[in-house]
Chains A and B, each alone.
Chain A
Amino acid sequence: MTSVLSGAAGPYFGAFGGRFVPEALVAALDELTDAYNKAKHDPAFGEELARLARDYTGRPSIVTEVPRFARHCGGARVFLKREDLNHTGSHKINNVLGQALLTKRIGKTRVIAETGAGQHGVASATAAALMDLECTVYMGEEDTERQALNVARMRLLGATVVPVTTGSRTLRDAINEAYRDWVANVETTNYVFGTAAGPHPFPEMVRDFQCVIGQEAREQMVALGGLPDAVLACVGGGSNAIGIFDAFLDDAGVRLIGCEAAGDGVETGKHAAAISGGRPGVLHGAMSYVLQDTDGQTQPSHSISAGLDYPGVGPQHAWLADMGRAEYWPVTDSEAMEAFRLLSRTEGILPAIESAHALAGAVKLGRELGSGATLLVNLSGRGDKDVGSAARYFHLLDEESSQ
């Protein structure tokens, strides 16, 4: 591969991306693009972000080898990039600190955010508290029930959480509602978008704020003996995946595997695997793969994981899939939960259910490649928020109460 894929610029990634938004938002998106381009070349901004990453988030995050887990992966060596150890418990904080700093630079006093699992909402509420910004988080009503702990966390941090009761009552509707808020309040408000999707500049900007994951991990792997054979990450909108992929995009020998949420199985129609089971279309401001019917109406997605329960995907992933640089594998609810249990019991690490999809991909790939292989998995978040759901899934609460 001669072309340089790392750090690709928007608004278009091949045929994907762009900006399909109401005119009312164009000025705000232009302002944000402009501010971001200036900040990118301003050493003071880079230093401030690096300082926060080190002194607040706790970066660099470590890489952990997980040999007991790896025994179930065909004997391949498996390394985890520990984004779960970041302050607030996931990779989302990397992006949010960048966007919150930008909010200050453009002189806005209020941020809004959408959230699915609640991790982006928690990260946004955290950054808002730290930087003295007003914060409103939109969250689908179904997700407020699935991730009740994170709702409480956001409120404790001083954010207003608005349960969204329209449509499928999940992440997609939360994004719709955040857009509506933004159109009405754009003068004071910045939309801190949680994933590498949406209209330009979000896919490029969110990737840039997340690519620290791959930059660190690549160096860490080299120090541990060499580049991995494959890098795996779960894909909701795609921010943790593109964040770890970016540094490896031009390493032609490294396979990149995005694990999409296949719910009950792509063939059942009850899934959230936009690339494996969708078609190109426009959703939430960008051209990408979308779960939709023949009329272009968005189809409801299904996943046990609130953070992956989204019918779209970031445009750079659509592009990487089409050119064959990255592979996108469907991982079902039950495969993910099995991997969740496996990592918990073999290594004493409770992963987020989102991240468990990537672990399930590693189990499968390891068995394919065997003992000579080295796999790097992005452990995008910790499972604290999922304790209730996982306990219910494994009937642990029933067993306990019946004892």
Chain B
Amino acid sequence: MSALTDRLDAIRGEGRSALIGYLPVGFPTVERSVRAMVAMVDAGVDIVEVGLPYSDPVMDGPTIQVAAERALQGGTHIVDAFTAVRAVTQAGAPAVVMSYYNPMLQYGLERFAQDLVVAGGSGAITPDLTPDAAGGWLAAARARDLDTIFLVAPSSTRERLHLTVAETTGFVYAASLMGVTGERTSVGAGAERLVAATRAAGAPRVCVGLGVSTGEHAADVARFADGVIVGSALVRCLLDHDDEDAALDALRSKTEELARGVRRRT
């Protein structure tokens, strides 16, 4: 059992859904991104996804693309993700890294897993790596009890749901819709169906991401998912405000809105 699954189970015990917040490390700078992650924890995020910026983020929409591009221009490196993981964990929230595959591969899968453990991280979410292609990563993570968090999508067949659930630990990341990250006016109607199908395939914990932008959305998803994952709407708070205090204020109030959402009884 990882800190992540412990926390998810404790939150389920409270009769609510978890709030999982994503920010990319290094945007607008490494220090400021780490302070933003900690501020998010203080304001009510239960679990943090530390994004590792990548040059070719095919699963990300414009908001996260811009933030990642600026983080890389600013000289963000893989090791900075571990700095962020350490800070988040010290602030009291389980941390997972969200990374495309090639940076992990080039860093060395064993070394990546080892450094993640040392930093106190619970595992990694891999948006462009499916379990059937993840042999080396699965071995490195299993040897250290790190969670391997894979995605399922509305297009996943029953067979693939079973395959993915079998290799996933921590939680299954259910993509609410067919598309990339980004704020949307509503959460995909297929999300609830996908969560049910994923549970039927044996998943004990399923969290939903993509397009969740408001407290309203969070409350809606919280009805049927163990966790609500929010990225772009949080990143936007940092994109919209160059001034750090203003950015953190916006981030806190967005986080509070979402935290109220996952606690709302509908």
- Whether A295 contacts B103 by the Cβ 8 Å rule is yes
Q: Count the B residues whose beta carbon is within 8 Å of the partner chain — how many?
A: 39
Q: Which of B29-37, B128-136, B138-146, B201-209 contacts A (4 or more CB under 8 A)?
A: B128-136
Q: Answer whether residue B153 sits at the interface, using C-beta atoms and an 8 A cutoff.
A: yes
On chain B, the residues within 8 Å of A20 by CB distance are 101, 128-129, 133
Contact of B78 among A25, A183, A284, A295 (CB under 8 A): A295
Q: Do A290 and B155 have beta carbons less than 8 Å apart?
A: no
Contact mask B153-171 → A, CB, 8 Å, 1/0?
A: 1111100100010000000
Residue numbers in A under 8 Å from B256 (CB-CB): none
Q: Do the beta carbons of A282 and B102 come within 8 Å of each other? A: yes
Which of B103-142 touch A at CB < 8 Å? 103-107, 127-130, 133
* Distance of A33 from chain B, by nearest CB (Å): 13
Decide if the interface of chain A is mainly helix, strand, loop or mixed.
mixed
The answer to whether B56 touches A22, judged by C-beta atoms less than 8 angstroms apart, is no
With A18-B133, A26-B156, A292-B102 already in contact, the answer to whether A297 and B178 are too (CB < 8 A) is no
Task: Decide: A297 and B160 in contact? CB cutoff 8 A.
Answer: no
**Given A28-B155, A180-B180, A23 and B103 contact (CB-CB distance below 8 Å):** no
- Cβ of A388 within 8 Å of any chain B Cβ, yes or no, is no
Query: Quick one: which of B103, B133, B178 contacts A19, CB cutoff 8 A?
Result: B133
What is the CB-to-nearest-CB distance from A286 to chain B, in angstroms, rounded to a whole number? 10
Is B257 interfacial (CB-CB < 8 Å)?
A: no
Partner of B106, one of A19, A24, A167, A295: A295
Q: CA of A80 to CA of B189 in the docked complex: distance in angstroms?
A: 56
Q: Which residues of A contact B157 (CB under 8 A)?
A: 27
Among B107, B127, B155, contact of A295 (Cβ-Cβ < 8 Å): B107
Interface residues of A in 278-313 (CB under 8 A from B): 281-285, 290, 292, 294-298
A296 B127 Cβ-Cβ under 8 A: no
Q: Is the CB–CB distance between B155 and A186 below 8 Å?
A: yes
Closest to A287 in B: B105
The answer to the question of B58 belonging to the interface, with a C-beta cut-off of 8 Å to chain A, is: yes
Contacts of A26 in B (CB 8 A): 130, 155-156, 160
* Contact (A296, B61) CB under 8 Å given A28-B155, A186-B155: no
Smallest CB-CB separation from B173: which chain A residue?
A23
Contact B106 A22 (CB under 8 A): no
User: What CA separation (Å) do A290 and B150 show in the bound complex?
Assistant: 25
How far is B156's CA from A285's CA once the two chains are assembled, in angstroms? 18
Nearest CB on A from B26, distance (A): 11
Is A184 an interface residue, CB under 8 A from the partner? Answer: yes
Q: Could you say which of B106, B152, B178, B180 contacts A186, with CB atoms under 8 Å apart? A: B178
Closest A residue to B153 using CB positions: A24
Which partner residue on chain A sits nearest B210 by CB separation? Answer: A24
Q: Are A22 and B55 in contact (CB under 8 A)?
A: no
List 7 tightest A-B contacts by C-beta distance, closest first. Answer: A296-B106, A24-B153, A296-B103, A296-B102, A184-B179, A179-B58, A27-B155
Residues of A within 8 A of B (CB): 18-28, 166-167, 172, 176, 179-180, 183-187, 281-285, 290, 292, 294-298
Known: A23-B160, A184-B180. 7 other contacts (CB 8 A): A20-B133, A23-B130, A23-B153, A26-B155, A26-B156, A183-B179, A186-B155
What are 6 residue pairs bridging A and B, where the CB atoms are less than 8 Å apart in the complex?
A: A23-B156, A24-B175, A166-B62, A183-B178, A183-B180, A296-B106
